[in-house]
Every structure is written in structure tokens, then in C-alpha cells.
Structure 1
Amino acid sequence: MPVEIGLWRLGARPEKLTVSSPDAESVLENALEQDLSIVDGGLMLIGRQVPTSYGKLIDMLAMTAAGDLVVIENKKARTAREVVAQVLDYASWVESLSYDEIASIYSQKNSGKKLEEAFDDAFGTSLPEQVNQSHEMIIVASELDPSTERIINYLSDNYGVPVNAVFFRFYRDEGRDYLARTWLIDPKDAERKVSQSKAKKGSEPWNGRDFYISLGEGETRNWEDCRKYGFVSGGQGKWYSQTLKLLFPGSRVFVNIPATGYVGVGIVKDSAVPVNEFKVVEGGNEVPILQMPMQAKNMAKNADDPVLSEYLVRVEWLKAVPKNEAHWEKGFFAIQHTACRLTSSFTIEKLSQHFGIDE
């Protein structure tokens, strides 16, 4: 079941804030429409109250950076059977939507704006040629009854159905409202279960831990700096930096220099931050990375621009070798994305052996 969240106002004596209810069911939906990152920072809103072909309305329909669709449904006062059946029904309709149909829905819900333009604005890259290759379902609730939890866990655990619930609590303190969020199933665990289910159809599952990094060197990025100061980076455009947000503390990264080979493997220690916020320890003190001597002489380029800035992720290297010792074998995984989930067991096993990493 989701972790219950408690909030306290600190002062002379801690005072616990009491849970309050929003003034109307639409309050939460309005908040999500204004900022969908409240649910997930990697989503773009397609539309609210999207009509299906059989006369029902989907509370919210969104899209991921991969072009996949996400059905978001507010539980409201419905029973577990009603809300889960409803979201599965919507998913069965969403699964069949074509590129043109999705573009039409977006245009109708956004004053004629083109889906392709909105996708570029949201993710900094062009819309994939193939969209809606998979989908997810998210049930939004201010509280979850045991029946809903059991059904969602059953579908996810046993069949890899991409359904999850996000649980919100409203707090009010001295005239200000606050919103706290908890997932029923950790999104990383949910994705791993879906990946394992898909593996039964012929694709390899993701182990929930390993990521691939493509470290393209240039004026703002150099592998020797990464190796020396413990980080990986990407930037100078949202398309190059946004995938770094996939990395989480405790995950493992395998770093490849394009057209060269794999040069390191390490454990992620912190989430991605702009270059002007990244610090390293020097002489027992924390020093901004931009004050350190580096091979990449122009890493500060666009440092004040949150879209174009270089973003860095702190990594503790398990093994990191100079570029001239890079390793490559036929069949290794490699794509242009700065970061992505690494599912190639062949690549993982071969690199673990090469770098002497104990699985």
C-alpha cells in the first residue's frame, strides 16, 4: 500500500498539519492541467475530457517523450471495480489510435495548435515517426481503498499490465494549500514489471537498474573530465539533456563514446543538475565544477539557460578507463540518446566481464 505522508510545521514546537479536502473534485484536475509534472515530469498533456468513440470521456490523455500515450483517470467517488474497469476500457480504445487521430485530438483540445510543434516545445525534439507503440494507465486518487490496491497490484504483479495509482493528500496551513504525492507502486518497479511481461513476447526485460550513456565529446563535454571528477553529462539542447532525468541514485551506467567504445561503468549518486549547480570536493571543500581545470574549455556555455545548459549527473566509477582503452565488440548496444535503459544482456554481461564488475 502507499506510504502515508505526514507534514509538520517546525517552530518552538512541531505542529502536524491536518489533511483537508479540496473544495471540489476539479481542483486536482485543474492543478494537473496547469502542471502535469505533479504526476510525472516526463509527460505532455494531449487533452482533458477526451471523448472516446463510444461516448465516454477520458479525464486526461498525455504523451511521453517516446511518443507513447498515458491515460490519467480521477477515481473520484467510484468503486474499485468501476474505476479500474473504466481505465482498462479507455486503454483498449487508446491502443488503436493512429498518428493522425492523436494529432487531431491534440489540435481540437489546444485551439488548433499542431501536435508536432507542441511535442518539440515540450521535449526539444521532433515527434517520432511511430507513436502510440505502448501505453500506460494512471489512476489519480485522494485516497485508495484496499480493493483498488489489490486489483492494481494483481494486474501489475502477475500480468505486467501498465497500470498504477498516484495518491494525493491535500493540506492547508495558514490560508495556503499544499499537495503531497505518493505512488502505489514505485514507477521504476512498475516499469520493470511491464518490461518483464513484454519479454515473454520476444524482447528482453529491463532489470530496473542499468542504463546506457552516449557521451559525445565536444567543446562542452570531455570524457577525461567525467572520469576525473565523477560525472556524466549532456546538454546544449533539451533533447540531449532530458533523458538524464531517467537516472536515479543507485542505478548503474555503462558509458559509450560514439564511434569509439565503452569506457566506464559506475553507480549514480545524485539526480541531474545544471552545470552551474554541480560541485566537486577539492581539498576538503565543495567547489563549483566550473572553477576546476577541465579539458572541456567551454562547459559553461549556456549555463544560465535552463533549456540549453549542460546537465551533470554525479557518478561513482566502478571502472573508468582512458579513451584509448575503450572497448567494443560486435553486437554491442549503441544509440544516439544521451541516456536510455539498457536491456541488452549480451552487452551487460560482456562489459561486466571486461571491466571486472561482479554481477
Structure 2
Amino acid sequence: MPIRTQIWTVGAQPAPLKTAVLASEQFLENMIVSAPALLSEDWLLIGRQESTGQGGRIDLLALAPDASLVLIELKRERTPREVVAQALDYAVWVERLQANDIEAIYQRFKPGTDLAADFQARFGAPLEAEALNQSHQIVIVAAELDASSERIVGYLSERDIAINVLCFQVFHLGEQALISRSWLLDPVDAPQAAGASKPGTPSEPWNGEYYCSFGHGGARSWNDARELGFICGGGGSWYSNSLKMLAPGDRVWVNVPQQGYVGVARVTGYATPAAEFLVDYQGREVPVLELAKGASYHSEFIDDPEHSEYFVSVDWLHSVPLEHAVKEVGLFGNQNTICRPTTPKWRWTVDRLKERFGVV
């Protein structure tokens, strides 16, 4: 059913806030450019009103932490068929963008800046040319969502097209106007850009093996993870949501970016926020942050479900210290915390790691 949000005041006599409308979707676009977190705290805005060279202009363009592109199209009073068709048409243009094209787009959006430096500052990881625009997703932004739009987007999503709708609603609280946002599809369950490679890229059925990017550094420690039996991610929903893909019995291969592969494990639990995650230590269960002292694990966000670190318990089948990480030319790499790669490169990587780690 179409997205509708209701907000109530808190008190002895709760009262619903009155709904309102924005002056225009242009005003909404201006708000987003001024405060990109309105869309997502996990994206870096890189372009606005960019011409496709075919008579159309993309409203907004962003980069996700894995260097995939996010095409953002505002509905602007068009019919559902028009807005979805337009977004799909623009996606054909987006998927063909090369690294130099994307850098030029960013220069037009923010003249005199450096995309690689800003990406590093925003996400705390280098912008790898190989990963740039290997996939993309479509996000339609609407002030309201009708049933027809929901059916169309749902149909495409069920067929693994990475498309979603972000619906904004406005409310009045006295003289103050408030805005809320709601996703049509839960980002955890919706098809993600990371799962859809560019046309022409070889793919094959998933081999059942999970990939993990473990960001060793100030926020998390590989030594802690190895000793206490966990993998983790946090600091934003983009980093933690994919951990929810894992379930007990799954097998996951762990890569530390810039270092190499450091272990393979069997999953024994589900993604759990830091405030609730316990570690078996000397016969008793201890809160993880009492034992994991090698990094911060975003402890400042321990009571914030959106930014908290999330942990998954594992049994290590094989693990090595960082100085013995396996790093070879041709091994698969990705910045998603967890993903299910479907490229021949991933199958080859797993086969190679089985040899190196002595794991069947």
C-alpha cells in the first residue's frame, strides 16, 4: 500500500500533527543539496542536474561507500510510468560512465575539489579505480507515493533491479515545518547495487561463500576479532546492514582492505548491536566492549541503532595475523562489509584461498 506516515505529539492527550506540502520538489532538491543526509548519511553527493547528452538531466548523482553510483530522480509531478521510465533511461547512461567522466561530473558540481580525496575523507577508505561504478542503483524521491508506483518498483525489485523509492512527508508543529522520510523497500532486503554488475561483466550463480571486508583501524581491530571470535561493522547503516545477511552455518572469507585475506569462519550467530553483544570469556558471558580494547567500535554510538557497531559471532576455521595476510594479484576485493559475489573472480579467489589456508 502507498507509504503514509503519521506523527503524534507525546503527552497525556496525544494529538496528530497536521500534514503539509512543500512549495515544490525543486525546494526539496535544494534542501537535499544543502543537507545530503536527508537522503542518506551513507552517500557522497557528486552531481546535480547533469546532462545525459540525450535531452535529459539527472536530478542528483551520488557515490556509495563501495564506489557504486546512486542515480536519484525526483518525481516532479510526473506519472509513475514517466518517472520510472525516465530513471531507467538515465541508468543506461550512468552505467557507461568511466572514472574520468565521474571526476568531470564532480568538478562541475564542486569546482576545484578532488573526488578521491573527498571520498577518502567521507568514507575513510581509498577510492579504488577498479571499484568505481562497477554497479549502480536507482532511487526515486517523491513527496507522496501512489499505488501504481509501488507496483512498478516492486515488480522491478523482485527481478533484482536495484531500485527503491524514498518518500518524504511534511508536517506542521506550530510554526515549525517538519519533514519525515520512509523507504518503500527496506534497504536491507532490497536489491543492492553491489549485487548487480555492469552489463558485459562475467557472472555466474553464487557459490554459497560470503565475502567480508573488515576495516581494521581506529574503529575496529582484527586482533580483537581473531581472539574473541567475531566480525563487525558500523558507523552507519550502510556498513552494518549487510551483516544481517548472515545466519548460523554460513561461511565467510575475511579481507582487510589494503592488507589481504586474513581468515575464514563459520557463522554462529546473528548481527547484534554492540550494547547487546556478549562474548564467552572464561566460562561467562561478557559485554564485548569490556574485552575488545584494540579499537573504538564506535562506542560513542552505542545507544544509536543507526550508527552503532554490529557484531556477528563466528568460529574461525583458519585465521592469520595481519602480517601474514594473503594478498595476490587477481584476488576479489569489495568495500561492502558483507556481500555475495557472483563473478568468476570470486570463485577463483575462494579456490585459491582454500589452497593457501588449507580449508576444504
TM-score (normalizing by structure 2): 0.70
Once the two structures are overlaid, the 10-residue window that deviates more, 259-268 or 91-100, is 259-268
Letter in 2 for 1:155: L
Q: 2:240 matched to which residue of 1?
A: 245
Aligned equivalents of 1:187, 1:26: Cα separation in 2: 25
Asked if the contact 1:255–1:265 (Cα under 8 Å) also holds between the matched residues in 2, the reply is no
SS class of match (1:232): strand
Aligned equivalents of 2:170, 2:8: Cα separation in 1: 13
Q: 1:313 to 1:119 in 2, by over 3 A?
A: same
Write out aligned runs for 1:1-359 (5 A): 1-130=1-130, 131-158=132-159, 160-191=160-191, 195=195, 203-204=203-204, 212=212, 214=214, 221-223=223-225, 226-227=228-229, 231-233=230-232, 244-247=239-242, 249=244, 251-252=246-247, 254=252, 256=254, 261-271=263-273, 290=289, 292=290, 294=291, 297-299=293-295, 312-315=309-312, 319=315, 339-343=337-341
SS class of match (1:122): helix
Asked if the contact 1:44–1:122 (Cα under 8 Å) also holds between the matched residues in 2, the reply is yes
How much does 1:249 deviate? Answer: 4.8
Letter in 1 for 2:263: G
Letter in 1 for 2:5: I
Aligned equivalents of 2:194, 2:186: Cα separation in 1: 13
Aligned equivalents of 1:94, 1:42: Cα separation in 2: 19
Q: 1:304 to 1:20 in 2, by over 3 A?
A: closer
Q: 1:13 to 1:281 in 2, by over 3 A?
A: farther
Q: For structure 1, list consecutive stretches of 5 or more residues without a partner in the other structure.
A: 325-332, 352-359
Q: 1:205 to 1:15 in 2, by over 3 A?
A: farther
Asked if the contact 2:134–2:197 (Cα under 8 Å) also holds between the matched residues in 1, the reply is no
How much does 1:316 deviate? Answer: 5.2
Per chain length, whose mean CA-contact separation is higher, i.e. which structure has more relative contact order (CA < 8 Å, sep 6+)? 2
Asked if the contact 2:116–2:126 (Cα under 8 Å) also holds between the matched residues in 1, the reply is yes
TM-score (normalizing by structure 1): 0.71
Asked if the contact 2:60–2:73 (Cα under 8 Å) also holds between the matched residues in 1, the reply is yes
Considering only aligned residues, what root-mean-square deviation do their CA atoms show, in Å? 4.5
- Partner deviation per Cα, 1:189-221 (whole Å, 9 max, x = no partner): 331699489999853567999663648699774
Once the two structures are overlaid, the 10-residue window that deviates more, 18-27 or 262-271, is 262-271
- Partner deviation per Cα, 1:289-340 (whole Å, 9 max, x = no partner): 55x3x3x55445997799xxx97423356x567969xxxxxxxx97585822
Once the two structures are overlaid, the 10-residue window that deviates more, 190-199 or 101-110, is 190-199
How much does 1:44 deviate? Answer: 0.9
- Partner deviation per Cα, 1:131-182 (whole Å, 9 max, x = no partner): 2222211111111222222222223324x33222111211121222322222
Aligned equivalents of 1:301, 1:316: Cα separation in 2: 15
